[in-house]
Structure 1
Amino acid sequence: MNDKRFRKYWSFSIFLSLLGTFELEAKEEEKEEKKTERNKDKEKNAQHTLGKVTTQAAKIFNYNNQTTISSKELERRQANQISDMFRRNPNINVGGGAVIAQKIYVRGIEDRLARV
């Protein structure tokens, strides 16, 4: 009778150990599948994700026909009238009588549109 019990418990313990082994294998396979899915998702997202992008720019706008007279140049020329300042530039004329009534005329631009 002892022998029957021993066989019964022994077979039951083997059954449980096999069941546990199958359970562990199933969990390991499940972990592997999840890991594979995560890697696929990472690869899929990596295809659509840019790395660090750095841009640099400087805002430079050059006027091709710009006339600039600096304060140093004003001192150097020692001009008493506006016409003296623009005398060297053939595209600019100064007209009018009194100093307060003088107008600056730029070739190709009406006097109303020239901002001076």
Structure 2
Amino acid sequence: MDLLDWHRGRLSSRRLAVLLAHLPRDGAVARELHDEAAEWSVTDHLLATVADQLAVSNWMFATVNRDEDAEPLDYPEPIPRPGATGPEAMGEDRSGEAGQVSSSPVPDRTELMRFFS
């Protein structure tokens, strides 16, 4: 398809709009407009969120059930998200109530024990 056909009058504006609206999400135009974020679908983002939540859940379980004398476990690193910068690039939303950022984003063992008991 030659896009100059629109200029020459052989391709209607409606047909051109339909062709542009239905370009593939992972095509060259989407990659140019959205950079590497075009390579991730909604399913990919949801799967990364599930994996992050599972890692945090495992970290909480291991933190609560470890020996009192053992050194604290490292908080799991979230999967990096394409096309984002800052905390949202890593799938993090560390805001507390009313959008206030928590001073201690990672709870310690006593906070977790209090929460689960």
The answer to whether TM tops 0.5 is: no
| Structure holding more strand per residue | 1
Larger RCO of the pair (alpha carbons < 8 Å, separation 6+)? 2
Higher alpha-carbon Rg? 1
What TM-score comes out, normalization by structure 2 length?
0.29
